[in-house]
Amino acid sequence: MLALFPEGFEEADRADDVELSAYTDPAGEDRARSVFGEVLTADVPPDWEERWKRFHRAANVAGLWVGPPWLSPPPDAVAVVVEPGRAFGTGAHPTTRLCIELLASLDADSLLDIGCGSGVLSIAAAKLGYAPIVAVDAAEAAIEATQRNARANGVEVETRLADALVDDLPPAATAVANIDAARSAAVAGRVECHRLVTSGYFAPHVPALAGYRHVRRETNEGWAADLFEPQ
């Protein structure tokens, strides 16, 4: 499939089988048939460019309504409205919700958002009273999305294009890294903070952070987030 459709394809479990799908034209259909022998085809719905929006939903977390701009928050909600683009989340994922819940339980102070993505954690933190906030990411698209979403929500977030595993990181009272267990462990030794919130991994994984003690764990739908403090 990679050779046939280098621009990408979808993989989905179907009972005991795996279904591989590609959006293509008649020429691509012929290529697939020449390799696989039999393929199933269907016309692409006219709204295919907008169908990805159905996968993003709103969430109520720690007194905040977090969701995409095509959904309407309740009139009295403290809203965090995030345009996810096609590569970032809006806040409904369990790891994002867990990080927001842990941040809401702490004293709001300065914050470093490591791997900011759409900026949802930075914006939620700003709504919770954190300041100043610095958001870093190695992807320029993430920095642009964070800047755009921060402006739309009327909050102040400083953004920096940086690789947290290589570049210098600014100190902060609280740091949050919703990435994965391995990268959380690698980043922990590079950040100067009083509290570190990590997530991006399933509950069986517990990051081993040298120089930190584990304070608290929250889980949701099989995912986990942890609070650490320096020893």
Q: What are the DSSP calls for 80-116, one per residue?
A: EE---TTTS--S-SHHHHHHHHHHHTS----EEEES-
In this predicted model, what pLDDT tens digit does every residue of 137-166 receive, in sequence order? 999 999 999 999 999 999 999 999 999 999
CA 213 to chain CA centroid, nearest Å: 25
pLDDT of residue 8: 78
Q: Which residues pair with 217 in a beta bridge?
A: 226
Q: Residue 175 half-sphere exposure, CB side, CA atoms within 13 Å?
A: 26
Q: What is the DSSP string of 123-139?
A: HHHHHTT--SEEEEES-
Decide if pLDDT at 112 tops 90.
yes
- Report the distance separating Cα 119 and Cα 91, nearest Å: 10
Give the residue among 159, 137, 140 at the shortest CA–CA distance from 150.
159
pLDDT of residue 86: 55
**Which of 1-15, 53-67, 117-131 is predicted with the least confidence, judged by mean pLDDT?**
1-15
pLDDT of residue 87: 54
User: What does the mean pLDDT of the chain come to?
Assistant: 92
Residue with tokens 């929006």: 53
> What is the average pLDDT across 41-55?
73
Q: Which residues pair with 218 in a beta bridge?
A: 225
Decide if pLDDT at 13 tops 90.
no
Answer with the residue of higher pLDDT: 13 or 126: 126
pLDDT of residue 84: 76
CA distances (Å), 216 to each of 15, 195, 219, in order? 38, 11, 10
**Which of 3-7, 35-39, 61-65, 183-187 is predicted with the least confidence, judged by mean pLDDT?**
3-7
Q: Which residues pair with 137 in a beta bridge?
A: 161
Q: What pTM was estimated for this model as a whole?
A: 0.79
pLDDT of residue 132: 98
In this predicted model, what pLDDT tens digit does every residue of 66-104 receive, in sequence order? 999 999 999 999 999 999 765 566 678 899 999 999 999
Domains and CATH numbers, the chain: 1-44 (no CATH), 92-230 (3.40.50.150)
Give the residue among 190, 203, 221 at the shortest CA–CA distance from 114.
190
Answer with the residue of higher pLDDT: 86 or 4: 4
In this predicted model, what pLDDT tens digit does every residue of 21-34 receive, in sequence order? 888 889 999 999 99
